[in-house]
Amino acid sequence: MKTLLATALGTVLFTSTAQAATFVDTREALNPNDFLDWSELVEVPEDLVGPPLPTLPNPFSATSPGGLNLNVSIPAGEFARIDQTPFFPGAFDVGDGLLFTGLGNPGPLTITFDTPVFGVGTQVQSDPIEIFDYIATIEAFDSLGNSLGSFERPGVSEINAGGGVIFTGVFDSSGDIKTLVLNAKEEGVDVPFAINALSIRSVPISVPEPSVILGLLVIGGTGSIVSRLRGLPENN
């Protein structure tokens, strides 16, 4: 992993002509008009300092403030809900509501939209207790199941809140992002990870050319928030 990370840090940007989607490296560049805050799905007790964590069923459905319906799933197990605090290991900003694939439970995490969107993205961090250097991956698929592009970005998992977490997003000018697949890997192996608020662009917009990012690898391919969770039991 150290060799892979060193190689990635020396890389500016590689793109494949087969990819229809564009990688977006910041929330601001995505210019979202909608979002989903996981903290609105299940509350986390204020005095929580460790397991057991509140859970969400797998899969579950939710609706964004803009009325966009989506379904979220992982290969196995239940989702865990975490709030980033000054004491909870993680580098997200304090107060961020996080969706976690679960302790010892890797991704990928799949999000399917009822109505295709133009862009979507979030910050991704691997389990900072077990995983340090990691690769965050994101892939978008159209309504026919064709890949619009697959992208990778290396990160370093920190335990101190506010330390900064890499953003991974995609934009498709045709507005046909039907499914998003997020993952985190260490030495090619899927690992547990958490994401914060999901930013969504559901209406047309022109985005600037992707910025040159040290550490960004793009691999070829064929292609805050009010939400309401539908039909979920309360988990305490």
- Strand, helix or coil for residue 150: strand
18 contact partners, CB below 8 Å, separation of at least 6: 220, 221, 222, 223
**Which of 78-92, 122-136, 208-222 is predicted with the least confidence, judged by mean pLDDT?**
208-222
**52 is written with which tokens?**
């057991």
216 contact partners, CB below 8 Å, separation of at least 6: 8, 11, 12, 13, 23, 25, 151, 152, 153
**Which of 14-23, 54-63, 185-194, 206-215 is predicted with the least confidence, judged by mean pLDDT?**
206-215
Closest of 21, 13, 16 to residue 171, by C-alpha = 21
Do 193 and 122 contact (CB within 8 A), yes or no? no
Residue whose structure tokens are 């997003």 = 169
H helices of the chain, where?
2-9, 27-30
- Strand, helix or coil for residue 7: helix
Do 53 and 100 contact (CB within 8 A), yes or no? yes
**206 is written with which tokens?**
């022109």
Do 30 and 208 contact (CB within 8 A), yes or no? no
What are the tens digits of pLDDT across the range 194-235?
999 999 999 987 554 554 333 344 444 433 333 334 444 444
Quote the pTM value.
0.79
